[in-house]
Amino acid sequence: MNMMNSSPAPHAQGLPTYLVVDVSKSMRPYEALLNRTLEDIINTLYSSPRISEFIHLSILTFSNRPHLVLAMTEIAELTRLPTVECRGSTYFAPLFESLRDRIEFDLPRLLARNVRPLRPVVFLLTDGAPADPEERWASAFDALTSREWRPHPHVITYGFGEAVESVLKRMATAAAFIADPHAGTDTQAITAALGTMLNSLVATARAEALQVPERVKGFRSIPLDHVEF
Amino acid sequence: MTPRTRLKTWSDSPFEAVTPLAEVAARGVVIAEENGESQVLYESAEHPGWLVKLYRPGLATEPVQVLDRLIALPAEMPPADLALVDRSLCWPVSRVMDGERAAGVVLAKAPPEFRVEMRMISGASVHRLMDIDQLVQTDLDFYAKRGWATPTPQERLAVARNLAAVGVLLERYDIVYGDWSYANALWARGTGEIFLIDMDSCGLTDRLWVESKFWNDPAVPSGSRLSVHTDRYKLAVLVLRCLTGLRGPEPAAAHAALPADVRGGPLGEILWTAVTTGDPSRRPPMSELHALLASTPGFEPAQPAQPATAAAPSLDTRPPSVISVAASLGPAPYGSSSPSSLGRASVPENPHPSTGEPARARPSARPDQGRAGIDAEHAPAGSLLPLVIALFVAALALLAVAGLATSLFS
């Protein structure tokens, strides 16, 4: 069977993008803010075909378990906006395992839609330290980001509140940022982080290549030992 | 009640050619932050209707003399040209100085006719600017979902014609715009009037390269200074996309979607030359394009066509169906600037994400639906099995073609 002509060769490139948000109970005071900001991000993609045709967005939240809040579907197919609830603790190992599963699931579907995926990117926002042991989440993270696994994603971390700098650094491959507690409130930190993510996505869509934020208002950039970018 | 007079974007400027930042530092509505070349774009609180764009420090720009020349130029224009500037161009009116540093520019806010109500996913409506991004669509549902009427062929033609008219003016004064794209032109429903923004980054005779992948001139090396010839290419691409609604990386596909009589006529020919010639100097001047658009009656765009066949001239002579597939399966690295792909279409037998409890072995549970009403991927795995098999077989077949099949089984 000649499969060569069964579907046209992929045309446009696309960036599989995973926005990952900590929704442990410590984030509950910011639940409304998270929902508003996520709505802004989705609405920006909905309003801008030039962005949404390049940025293929999926949103996951995590606490005790990861939750798929928005599958990597066409934004245009959305009929209602997803919302998040905050409860539980902050377990990273199931999240990293789930991300790997999602990438393996999503990328072939992009190809089937004639999208040539670039290396996926994960934007991760957290306010706390891991509740699971380091060997557990570090192992899962290493499996997610192993160079042996071809579609291993770039990971950019943002931390505020009780987030630990060394953990953010360990969980990042492209950039890591930690909020400066003297620069503003946690509310401002969340707004700045998600706003920067959105700006990064807009700039990325324009350049058709991942544009890593250089700075985030109210945050300090954490130097990484090795930047794969 | 006296009708509100529309602001003339250059002639009504209350500013001198140079404005101290302190005079415009008070911010009204912030339009954008950290957006492209600008650090912030806001409406001046002291001068409503006028926007202040402050540049990112250290950003490469044209020499300040170029901006000054642009600011002064409309004063030398004949009335008809000045009227077009005042109506359709967000022309820079003043250079903003922060001490000795050129910090930014003052520009007019887009007139209200370029704003529309848009229905969002939630059902709420927002008031937003209508840019070309919204015009270049062939999916009628796109407009219906947003509460908009589908653009008519007459609207499309009017937009294209008005864009070309602006192109003619710029070319007349040797101004290189450079950044023709989906985002940089607004259009008004019904009239097809247009409003070109980001005029402050224009060059005279040439200008700095601006990266915009679906718009880059294939006949010019990346990073080259842009010229009127590259503008002719980009404007021709923009016109094709406006006329047909067809997006995508290949202008030839949009050309193929023109009605047959247009495609085969002088307008189609001039557009084809502009987007396919390997010699930029052969691209017709914008005045010719504008004249043909002005003399073209309304038309119905053809259905979106397949990309142009190999018989059409192309700068890329590689047979696409083999090479691009091989590229997507080959060892090309991922990266920020290079196209990349998976290397193989990895299709797990269980496509659903794990949602395991902490401190357990990796499960293969059903996906956690979360709270979205749109998660379609949680259908039972069995219903997806035929698709999974088909994708896997397709991937194997493609790998076989690329000579890489043995790597899976070695």
Are B274 and B164 contacting, i.e. CB atoms less than 8 angstroms apart?
A: no
Query: What distance in Å separates the CA atoms of residue A12 and residue B341, rounded to the nearest whole number?
Result: 11
Identify the residue among B131, B341, B349 best suited for mutation to test binding to A, counting A beta carbons within 10 A and taking the highest: B341
Q: What is the rounded end-to-end Cα distance, in angstroms, of chain B?
A: 83
Cα B319 to chain centroid, rounded: 27
| A105 part of contact set with chain B, CB < 8 Å | yes
Strand partners, B35: B38
Count of beta carbons in the 10 Å neighbourhood of residue A146:
11
Helix (H, G, I), strand (E, B) or coil at B233: helix
Q: Which of A39, A68, A111 sits opposite B375 (nearest CB)?
A: A68
- 10 Å CB burial of residue B270 (0-12, 13-18, 19+) is buried
Chain B contact for A188 (CB, 8 A cutoff): no
Q: What distances in angstroms separate CA B401 from CA B98, B147, B293, one per listed residue?
A: 61, 47, 46
User: How far, in Å, CA of A151 to CA of A145, rounded?
Assistant: 8
Question: Which chain A residues touch B201 with a CB distance below 8 Å?
Answer: none
In the numeric block, which tokens belong to residue B147? Answer: 């509460």
**Beta carbons of A152 and A146 less than 8 angstroms apart:** yes
Residue with tokens 């189609």: B268
Residues in chain A: 229
Q: Which of residues 14-53 of A touch B (CB under 8 A)?
A: 39, 42-43, 46-50, 53
Residue found under tokens 């047959």:
B260
Contacts of A83 in chain B (CB under 8 A): 371
Kindly identify which residue of chain B lies nearest to residue A69, measuring between CA atoms: B370
Q: Which residues of A touch B368 (CB under 8 A)?
A: 65-68
Is the distance from CB of B7 to CB of B49 less than 8 angstroms?
Answer: yes
Q: What is the pTM of this model?
A: 0.78
Yes or no, beta carbons of B36 and A118 under 8 Å apart: no
Residue in chain A lying closest to B136 (CA):
A49
Closest-CA distance of chain B to residue A134, Å = 11
Domain B112-294 has CATH 1.10.510.10: yes
Q: Tell me, what's the ipTM?
A: 0.83
Give dist(CA B268, CA B255) in Å, integer. 7
- Residues of chain B scoring pLDDT < 70: 1-4, 298-410
A42, A117, A211: residue with CB nearest B341:
A117
A117 touches chain B (CB under 8 A): yes
Residues in chain B with CB shorter than 8 Å from the CB of A60 are 370
The chain B residue lying nearest A16, using CA atoms, is B341
What torsion, rounded to 10 degrees, do the Cα atoms B53, B59, B62, B67 define?
20
- The reply to whether A108 touches chain B by the CB within 8 Å rule is yes
The strand pair at B125-129 and B115-119 is best described as antiparallel
Burial B234-254 (b: 16+ CB within 10 A, else e): bbbbbbbbbbbbbbbebbbbb
* CA–CA dist A73, B217 (Å, integer): 32
Give the up-direction half-sphere exposure of residue B73: CA atoms within 13 A in the CB hemisphere: 23
Beta carbon pairs, A and B, within 8 Å: 212
C-alpha span between A50 and B173 (Å, rounded): 30
B146 Rama class: left (phi>0) / alpha (psi -120 to 50) / beta: alpha
Q: For residues A156 and A119, give the distance between their C-alpha atoms in angstroms, rounded to a whole number.
A: 13
Copy the structure tokens of residue B271.
Answer: 């557009």
The C-alpha atoms of residue B105 and residue B197 are separated, in whole angstroms, by 13
Question: In this predicted model, what pLDDT tens digit does every residue of B180-211 receive, in sequence order?
Answer: 999 999 999 999 999 999 999 999 999 999 98
Which chain A residues are within 8 Å of B321, Cβ to Cβ?
4-5, 8-9
Closest CA in chain A for residue B123:
A80
- Closest residue on chain B to A174 (Cα): B336
- pLDDT, tens digit (0-9, with 9 covering 90-100), for B239-259: 999 999 999 889 999 999 999
Q: Flag whether residue A91 sits within 8 Å of chain B, measured between CB atoms.
A: yes
Name the minimum distance, in Å, from the CA of A181 to any CA of chain B.
Answer: 22
CB-based contacts of B128, cutoff 8 Å, min separation 6:
A47, B115, B116, B118
What is the per-residue pLDDT for B226? 96
Q: Of chain B residues 302-361, which have a CB less than 8 A from chain A?
A: 306-307, 320-322, 324-325, 328, 334-337, 339-348, 351-359
Chain B CB contacts of A108 below 8 Å: 342, 345-347, 391, 395
- Name the residue facing A118 among B126, B320, B340 (closest C-beta): B340
Pairing of strands A55-62, A12-22: parallel
The torsion angles phi and psi of A82, rounded to 5 degrees, stand at -75, 155
For residues B328 and B340, give the distance between their C-alpha atoms in angstroms, rounded to a whole number: 6
The answer to whether the beta carbons of residues A184 and A219 sit under 8 Å apart is no
> Could you tell me if B384 and A83 are in contact, meaning their C-beta atoms sit under 8 angstroms apart?
no
Per-residue confidence in pLDDT tens, chain A, 229 aa:
333 334 444 568 899 999 999 999 999 999 999 999 989 889 989 999 998 989 999 999 999 999 999 999 767 788 888 899 999 999 999 999 999 999 999 999 999 988 999 999 999 999 999 999 999 999 999 999 999 999 999 999 999 999 999 999 999 999 999 999 888 899 888 888 988 888 888 888 887 888 888 888 899 999 988 766 5
In a mutational test of the A interface, the residue from B148, B209, B324, B334 whose CB has the highest number of chain A CBs within 10 Å is B334
Nearest residue, CB atoms, B128 vs list A47, A66, A81? A47
B71-97 burial, b if ≥16 CB within 10 A, otherwise e? bebbeebeeebbebbbbbbbbbbbbbb
Q: Do A4 and B128 touch (CB under 8 A)?
A: no
- For helices A134-145 and A93-112, the axis angle rounded to 10 degrees is 20
Query: Residue A221: what are its φ and ψ, rounded to 5°?
Result: -75, 135
Show me where the domains of chain A are located: 13-126+154-221
Contact A11 B325 (CB under 8 A): no
Distance from C-alpha of A16 to C-alpha of B378, rounded to nearest angstrom? 19
Which of A46, A151, A199 is facing B120, going by the closest CB pair?
A46
- Domain boundaries A13-126+154-221, CATH class: alpha beta
Of B122, B340, B355, the CB nearest to A65: B355
State how far residue A4 is from chain B, nearest Cα, in angstroms.
7
Rounded percentage of chain B residues whose pLDDT exceeds 90:
64
Chain B interface includes A84 (CB < 8 A): yes
Which of A11, A108, A202 shows the shortest C-beta gap to B249?
A11
Question: Cα distance from B189 to chain A (closest Cα, Å)?
Answer: 17
CB proximity under 8 Å: B 103-122 to A: 118, 120-122
Domain boundaries, chain B: 18-63+92-108, 112-294, 320-351+380-410
Residues of A in contact with B35 (CB under 8 A): 199, 202
Strands lying side by side in the sheet with B175-176: B175-176, B203-204, B206-207, B226-227
Distances (CA, A) of B177 to A113, B167, B224, B324: 34, 9, 14, 32
Q: Could you say which of B249, B352, B393 has the minimum Cβ distance to residue A12?
A: B249
Chain B positions in Cβ-Cβ contact with residue A12 (cut-off 8 Å) = 248-249
Q: How many residues belong to chain B?
A: 410
pLDDT of residue B82: 98
